[in-house]
Amino acid sequence: MSENSNTAPTPIIQVENLYKCYWVGRVPFPALNGVHLNMQRGEFSVIAGRSGSGKSTLLNIVGGLELADRGSVRVCDKDFLQRTKDQRALFRLEHIGFVFQAYNLVRVLTARENVAFVCQLRGKHKGECYGIADHWLAEVGLGELGHRRPDQLSGGQQQRVAVARALAMNPEIVLADEPTANLDTATGRALIALMRELNQQYGTTFMISSHDPDVIESASRVIHLADGRVVDGEEPAEPQLPPDTACRVRPPSLARRLVRALGGHRQD
Ligand code: ADP
Ligand code: MG
């Protein structure tokens, strides 16, 4: 990272002129229309916007779960889009934790096993992973409930397990997509307070998508998305393409779709 007394630190997330269009057959669904944003280490930022504004698409691209059509994404100063699917998966495992709206826990595993699993994927010993799982379950207030499976936990408790799992390998970034959407108001508030506490204690960068007013209020910065563009909260960059261009780009050819499905990257 280029960092000295005269220059600002390199943002941990750098998104420039990001475009994404989904095609269902030949019908286009524009999702991102030239998004530009930077996020500094340790931020607790919320991506706000109505349903369909492009929040999940943005988080998925930043997390390397999906590829953009155009634009650039640098995460931890690495160009994410130029990597293969496997390289992106490895990068994610090392640098990024995910929290999803529907918790996405493995139903047949206990809370402890759900958290330890991520650690085992990194090749660590089972005993060490269970120790790490116990630490993080205690951090999210579930120290006594590690032996329960997801169906034996409330929604709020399941989401806490998901937060413990996201943080288990000390990632630099946690991406949380509508983490309170399935929770009642009080449980959602408690979850956000917990995430904020962890952000302050560990310095982990949080990028949270939400339209929940409590989540928005808790943020150190709110970035508003509308129709796939940042409309407030970030210095707008000069778009390289005119607005509403996402789907004017031709639909991906069969060859490009195959390359994408096989995990390669594509240059438009
Ligand atoms: P948000 O998370 O803000 O609700 P999304 O990123 O899910 O928004 O979606 C942005 C736009 O892209 C919406 O118009 C949505 O219908 C469209 N979209 C998202 N995913 C797909 C998909 N897999 N196929 C077709 N259209 C999609
Ligand atoms: Mg969404």
The domains of the chain, with CATH numbers, are: 13-261 (3.40.50.300)
- Contact between residue 41 and residue 12 where contact means Cβ atoms under 8 Å apart: yes
The answer on pLDDT for 3 being more than 50 is no
- C-alpha of residue 244 to centroid of ligand 1, in Å: 15
Burial, 19: exposed, middle or buried (Cβ in 10 Å; 0-12, 13-18, 19+)?
buried
The answer on pLDDT for 5 being more than 80 is no
Phi and psi at 185, nearest 5°, equal: -55, -50
What pLDDT, in 10s, does the model give residues 222-233? Answer: 999 999 999 887
Mean of pLDDT values over 163-179: 94
pTM assigned to the model: 0.88
What pLDDT, in 10s, does the model give residues 57-96? Answer: 999 999 999 999 999 999 998 887 677 888 888 899 889 9
Name 224's bridge partners: 48, 232
Whose Cα sits closest to atom 5 in ligand 1? Answer: 54
From residue 180, how far is each of 4, 48, 168, 185, 190 by CA, in Å? 38, 13, 20, 8, 10
Mean of pLDDT values over 176-188: 92
86 vs 262: CA distance, rounded Å? 10
Q: What is the pLDDT of residue 239?
A: 52
Is 54 close to ligand 1, i.e. is its CB under 6 Å away?
yes
Ion ligand 2 — residues with CB < 5 Å: 55-56
- C-alpha of residue 51 to centroid of ligand 2, in Å: 6
Whose Cα sits closest to atom 27 in ligand 1? Answer: 22
Is 53 close to ligand 1, i.e. is its CB under 6 Å away?
yes
Nearest to 32 by CA among 268, 212, 226, 216: 226
Is 29 close to ligand 1, i.e. is its CB under 6 Å away?
yes
The answer on pLDDT for 206 being more than 80 is yes
Q: What is the pLDDT of residue 132?
A: 96
Q: What is the pLDDT of residue 266?
A: 47
- C-alpha of residue 52 to centroid of ligand 1, in Å: 5
Nearest atom within ligand 1 for CA of residue 53: 3
Nearest atom within ligand 1 for CA of residue 209: 2
Is 48 close to ligand 1, i.e. is its CB under 6 Å away?
no
224 vs 150: CA distance, rounded Å? 33
Is 51 close to ligand 1, i.e. is its CB under 6 Å away?
yes
What pLDDT, in 10s, does the model give residues 16-48? Answer: 999 999 998 888 999 999 999 999 999 999 999
Q: What is the pLDDT of residue 78?
A: 87
- Contact between residue 266 and residue 69 where contact means Cβ atoms under 8 Å apart: no
- C-alpha of residue 187 to centroid of ligand 1, in Å: 27
Q: What percent of the chain has pLDDT over 70?
A: 86
Count CB neighbours of 130 within 10 A. 17
- C-alpha of residue 177 to centroid of ligand 2, in Å: 7
Is 66 close to ligand 1, i.e. is its CB under 6 Å away?
no
The answer on pLDDT for 263 being more than 80 is no
Q: How far apart are the first and last CA of the chain?
A: 28
